[in-house]
Amino acid sequence: MKLEKIYQILFKKYGDLHWWPADTPFEVIIGAILTQNTAWTNVEKALERFEGNLSPERVLNMPLEELQEIIRPSGFYKQKSQYLKAVTEWFAGYDCEINEIKSRPLTDIRSELLKVKGIGNETADSIILYALELPSFVIDAYTMRLFKRIPVDAGTTYMEAKNFCERELPRDAQLYKNFHALIVQNAKEHCRKKALCTACPLEQVCQKLF
Ligand code: SF4
């Protein structure tokens, strides 16, 4: 099954979902950490507790315990508080200037992010795609589930699936942003663990390989 066809079908159904929901690139970076192993609703609760004052300076200068208390609703808050400090230090290393970071090759940015405590493939790609707006395709459990069921022969590991998508699709950050958002949306509405195939926009093209 061609990825572009899947994209077109999903886009026709859901349109542009305007991801990532954040006011600043730094908020995207923070959200990308907080969303690890939790639902987005919990991330929203944690973000609200910054009371509109979410800046790199504040995160860096805040005592760890205070940061933990703020982000408690996101779960794993002790670990995540350390990850937030680490990624903010990385960001501050570029004077918190997105364009400074973007002046470097994408592959270098990605390798650097992967060395930051708490950042794995999915978080690194989410930051690169949604905060830096550079074309780095994000894979998650929803994507792997969809590819298995349709099926899309994208391999079984994160990097296999990512490389497959980047080979198959035009290198376009906006397309990658929308596509990932559409996959998540459809996974929530239809392609759940227990699939709701009736009225799924992909039903006509899906072999439903459970
Ligand atoms: S038809 Fe069913 S299995 Fe296929 S994508 Fe839709 S919900 Fe998932």
Considering the domain architecture, whether residues 120 and 174 belong to the same structural domain is answered as no
CA 203/CA 100 separation, integer angstroms: 44
Report pLDDT for 162. 98
For residues 109 and 94, give the distance between their C-alpha atoms in angstroms, rounded to a whole number.
11
| Residue that is last in its domain, among 131, 164, 192 | 131
Ligand 1 pocket check: which of 186, 197, 198, 210 to mutate, most ligand atoms within 8 Å of Cβ?
197
157 assigned to some structural domain = yes
Share of the chain above pLDDT 90, in %: 99
190: Cβ below 6 Å to ligand 1? Answer: yes
**Residue 192 pLDDT:** 98
What is the mean pLDDT of the segment spanning 62-88?
A: 98
Q: Give SS3 for 54.
A: coil
200 and 147 share one domain? yes
What confidence tier does 127 reach under pLDDT thresholds 50, 70, 90?
A: very high
Phi, psi of 25, rounded to the nearest 5 degrees: -60, -35
95 lies in the same domain as 42: yes
Q: Which residue has the higher pLDDT, 146 or 21?
A: 146
DSSP string for residues in 71-101 = HGGGS-HHHHHHHHHHHHHHHHTTTT-HHHH
Domain count, the chain: 2
Is residue 186 in a domain?
yes
From residue 33, give the alpha-carbon distance in Å to each of 52, 74, 82, 150, 168. 18, 10, 10, 30, 28
For residue 210, being part of any structural domain is answered with no
Residue 202 Cα, ligand 1 centroid: separation in angstroms? 6
- Is the confidence at residue 135, as pLDDT, over 80? yes
Q: What CATH code is carried by the domain that includes residue 174?
A: 1.10.1670.10
35 shares its domain with 111: yes
| pTM given for the model | 0.97
| Tens-digit pLDDT profile for residues 139-185 | 999 999 999 999 999 999 999 999 999 999 999 999 999 999 999 99
State mean pLDDT over 80-86. Answer: 98
Separation CA 121–CA 114 (nearest Å): 7
Which among 160, 113, 159 is positioned nearest to 132, based on CA atoms? 113
Q: Would you place residue 108 in the very low, low, confident or very high pLDDT band (cuts 50, 70, 90)?
A: very high
Q: For residue 91, what pLDDT is reported? A: 98
Per-residue pLDDT averaged across 190-198, rounded? Answer: 97
Structural domain includes residue 36: yes
C-alpha 169/C-alpha 16 separation (Å) is 18
For position 8, what pLDDT does the model report? Answer: 98
Report the alpha-carbon distance of residue 17 to residue 184 in Å, rounded: 10
* Gap between the Cα atoms of 98 and 75, Å rounded: 28
pLDDT score for 140: 97
- Structural domain boundaries, residue 7: 3-18+137-205
Q: Final residue of a domain: which of 67, 96, 131? A: 131
Pocket test for ligand 1, best of 206, 207, 209 (most atoms within 8 A of CB): 206
Tell me: do 166 and 127 sit in the same domain. Answer: no
Q: Is the pLDDT of residue 1 over 90?
A: no
- Asked whether 133 and 173 are in contact (CB, 8 A), the reply is yes
48 with 77, same domain: the answer is: yes
